[in-house]
Amino acid sequence: MIKTYGIAYLTTAVVFLCIDAVWLTVMSSRLYKPLLGPMLLDSFNVQAAALFYIIYIAGAVYFAVQPALQTGSWTTAAVHGAAFGFCAYATYDLTNQATLKNWPVTITIADISWGTVLTAIAATSGFLVSSSLSRSP
């Protein structure tokens, strides 16, 4: 079982990181820089980003992939992943909306939508790969 969760974590992380890297690369100049400009660092904080990804992927595996492994259904991973992504990204963006001056509603909507879709895809991938490999002899 530890092997299954290790594979789930690794797969979920790789999928999440790869897709998120494309999103951030493309949307940085199109969405974030124009709307957040002076609030952005010149380069991202690697340690904070690494901690986010480590913790967030663990949450996605716990709240989405694990229940899917118990039910044997990829739709459980997708729905739970979407719900987890929605709640996590909404927490961040709506807190910013409530506490920061000039936090753009456009960023909030884009981030929550992105977190919902991305986490659903990554959790589903983590489930499909780990369940497939755990059934192999």
pTM score of the predicted model: 0.95
CB burial string 29-65: b at 16+ within 10 A, e below: eebbeebbeeeeeeeeeeeeeeeeeeebbebbbebbb
* DSSP one-letter code for 38: G
Give the model's pLDDT for residue 137: 58
pLDDT tens per residue, the chain (137 residues)? 789 999 999 999 999 999 999 999 999 999 999 999 989 998 889 999 999 999 999 999 999 999 999 999 999 999 999 999 999 999 999 999 999 999 999 999 999 999 999 999 999 999 999 999 977 55
* DSSP one-letter code for 103: -
